[in-house]
Amino acid sequence: MKKYLLKYSLEFLVIVMGISVSFWLNEISVEKNENRERLKVLNNIKTEIKDIQKYTGDRMKYWQDDIDLYSMFLNPKFEINSIKEITSSKSRIEYNLIYYRDFEPPMNRYISIINTGSFKFIKSERIKETLTRLHTINYSNINTSVQYEKLLKEHLIEIITKNHPNLLFASNDSQISIEDYSRLLKKEIEKDSILKSNLIIQLKYFETKKSLLTLYIYTLEELEAELSKTFQ
């Protein structure tokens, strides 16, 4: 009897050990797959950070130039040479008046991470929080400002086409230099308080948008720093 009991006990022990080893090996395999996916997600975020940094760097330069141009035309002390330090093109000045600049940073990798459920592979709560803050709150705030600016541009276009069509004609006239065009624009601004006040409001939105972009860049740097810790 003891002989059979020992035999069955050993067989049961072998089965239990086999199942335990199988579970252990499966857990190792799952953990390896998760680590592989986690590394893939983190590297995608790291790559996208570099892409966004380039994009925001370009945007910051353009937005600062927009601010400088508006400030120069609204400044009582008008200096054409200062304008020419920013641009030598009438089209650039006209663009500043009638077009708005959107804000569409490269977010394809982030969107893919969210849509595929890969967000769960990120262990760091700090990275998750910063990443979410960057692409929701910070991004939304800038785009809200851009949409307000778009409405102001539409109103400004109406003012120019109705009251200052000569500005549009001058911008398309190759015989008119950037110096003459700038003087004409300055003259129209000074004699039309509605045009001038509209530009002043837009300048305030330019400055607000730049401040929001600065905050966005700060959050991006914060994310980059947190991500670097995971690779140490």
Alpha helices in the chain (DSSP H): 2-74, 80-86, 90-98, 108-115, 125-133, 139-163, 165-172, 178-191, 193-230
Q: What is the pLDDT of residue 2?
A: 53
| Rounded Cα gap, residues 84 and 90, in angstroms | 10
Query: Which phi and psi (to 5°) does residue 101 adopt?
Result: -100, 125
Q: Summarize pLDDT for 125-168 with one digit per residue, the tens.
A: 898 999 999 999 999 999 999 888 889 999 999 999 999 999 99
Q: Which domain holds residue 63?
A: 2-230
| pLDDT per position as a tens digit, 41-84 | 888 999 999 999 999 999 999 999 999 999 999 998 888 888 98
Rounded Cα gap, residues 170 and 28, in angstroms: 72
Question: C-alpha distances in angstroms, 59 versus 12, 91, 92, 93, 149?
Answer: 69, 18, 15, 17, 15
Predicted confidence at residue 230, as pLDDT, reads 80
DSSP notation for 52-82: HHHHHHHHHHHHHHHHHHHHHHHSSS--HHH
How high is the pLDDT of residue 36?
A: 80
Split into its structural domains, the chain has a count of 1
* Pairwise pLDDT comparison (31 vs 185), residue with the higher score: 185
- pTM score: 0.83
> What are the C-alpha distances in Å from 102 to residues 47, 49, 230?
22, 19, 33
The predicted pLDDT at position 25 comes to 44
Per-residue model confidence (pLDDT) at position 203: 93
Task: Find the range with the poorest average confidence among 5-9, 39-43, 96-100, 123-127.
Answer: 5-9
